[in-house]
Amino acid sequence: MRRIAAVESFFSPEHRAAIEKAAAECGFSVDYFTQGHLPADQAADYEIVYGMCPPQELKAAANLKWLCCSFAGVDAYTDETIYPNPDVMLSNSSGAYGITISEHILMVTLMMLRQMPKFEEIVKNREWEKGLSMRSICGSSITVLGTGDIGTNFARRAKALGAKVIRGVRRTKKAGDPAYDEMYTFEELDSVLPKTEILVMALPATKETNHILSRKRIALLPEDAYVVNVGRGSAIDQEALMEALNGGHLAGAALDVCVPEPLPKDHPLWDTKNVSGHYQGSGCGAVLRGSAQLRRRAQAQAAGGPEDRILSSIILDKNMKAAPSGAAFL
């Protein structure tokens, strides 16, 4: 039987059942490597790797046909030199995380608006304090930078909670989801930021998005604005963001991503004022949705036809050039 290597540390019994069902329907068996590594002496046994292993470990997978990443971001896997042959297909799990990460964005946004970290300290100190001001999503002006699955799922939820206006910013100015009241391009971002009370960033790592929230653009945000980043740390000038937070220019930031990752214990970001760090999880629901994608794509892979390249969210051609297809971030 053909074999799949599932390389992740968070598989629950429910995850495994869904993955095994999807694989069995396509004639594959599944082996699990829960330490996040693909052993070099076993790598050649697998045609499909599902999950995320260190990129350099893929070179030993001589029979690899498909790397199915369990996350949306695959920028670490677009280097052609990490693969044993130029015909390996790469796909991400774009579309599997919209719900769970949008809920994460809602959680951290409400925590900042309602000053939960400060209230937690008050409770720990057994104090009785009622003087903290609180704000609401209801009536707020929100900008979503990156209007793909994650950004749009958040926009829908923010709209249901009564946001005054939700502006989407994307690479191209085409019609967006009804959750957005206004749509802008990256080139128009400077005109949007001064009107933004909550900035949500859900962008991939590309040349176009690198430091898209620059020092200059951070200065365009109102002093009471909040920033939430669940895309890639490289999208923000992190040094400038820390200075803005420490100087009181911004009300707060929730960063699920940063540079570098993992963040060293002595990095100044840990001590930056009003910043919340990484505590996002993939969530069972996301893995189950990813398993459904795995089944559809494995069926195409088993058939050996060209349709497998159409089904993937991000495909590498024979020259290992990243080419978007299907769902995208922007």
pLDDT over 70 for what percent of the chain? 84
- Give the strand pairing for 66-68 and 2-7: unpaired
Question: Where are the chain's structural domains?
Answer: 2-96+283-315, 98-276
pLDDT, tens only, 297-306:
555 555 554 3
- Confidence label for 283 from pLDDT (cuts 50, 70 and 90): very low
Q: Please name every residue paired with 90 in a beta bridge, in sequence order, or none if there are none.
A: 67
The CATH code of domain 2-96+283-315 reads: 3.40.50.720
Q: Which residue has the tokens 């677009």?
A: 78
pLDDT, tens only, 21-49:
888 988 999 999 988 899 999 999 999 99
Q: Which residue has the tokens 């719900």?
A: 99
C-alpha dihedral (206, 208, 214, 219), degrees to nearest 10: -130
Same fold, 2-96+283-315 and 98-276: yes
pLDDT of residue 109: 97
pTM: 0.77
pLDDT mean over 166-170: 97
| 257, pLDDT greater than 80 | yes
User: Which CATH class, in words, describes the domain spanning 98-276?
Assistant: alpha beta
Decide: helix, strand or coil at residue 1. coil
Closest alpha carbon to 77 in 269, 312, 327, 330: 312
Distance CA 250, CA 281 (A): 26
pLDDT of residue 320: 32
Distance CA 308, CA 297 (A): 6
